[in-house]
Chains A and B, each alone.
Chain A
């Protein structure tokens, strides 16, 4: 159980960091939409169109690392399981 929790902590931290890195890396807050610059051909007006897109921010990274930390600390309070207990006769 202890090892499983430590592995889970490592997994959550890695997934969080990788997801954040590949999403930007965005140093701002998490975004669920991103502005796309557009230009109207007739009026030549510049405007933005919001497109749905999840971009993880530092809050996402912090939450992932925080959860990993909780899992790791929890693992310290769990007794290590014994694989081959010596059977008493």
Chain B
């Protein structure tokens, strides 16, 4: 469903890591096993990690840890970001899958600064970006080694916690419950009775679900469901020809008026207006041109980082 390829990450066979440049619209709370490094090349991006909100600008870098719930949201500005999604098996101890390494890397965070500073990671990410655009065998190996160098630096220089899971994974700690709830909602937001079904399925009380979500991502269950529904609607409005009535039902809304009201409240425009505009925010007439232009700009921005930092 998502055009940003966050959840179902296909990895380059060659280096188990997906590297790409794109501009971000919106991605509501989700998690994945991959470690995701985001480097802002242009503009700004709002990232919610757990209950923390960070506003990242150009040359800011952040690492989203494996299984860490997060939400991305573009701001008024256009943005251009480099994504490096690293397969968990490149980082975790293959012998012992019950360990989850949690690295503190967020250039907006002044409390947990890595011992080698943030610039090192910005530069490394930019190098990985530029190198990944070339496709010779030597480039592939270089990308691999750059990624491993960065992982080594993470282990050596950043603050790192280990979240240890029990050998038998039927324990219900808050991390596993959180992931379960987020997944359930992502998979079932189209149901009218989603929340009731959720409480039954997860085997935990309504109060507990509320508490888990609110503490970890700052949203109530209802809000998270709505986010998912609206995101789905936006996608369908922008990329499909389906009629609005169809989209209403498909997004889990029972009535057209509820859909209309909710959509307007959350996005500022009506569904029809949104479709006309072809998507979010700024009026950019030449969509195709925007994409092509991005790649050249991306290369330029990345190379600058490599040279300057």
Indicate, yes or no, whether A interacts with B. no
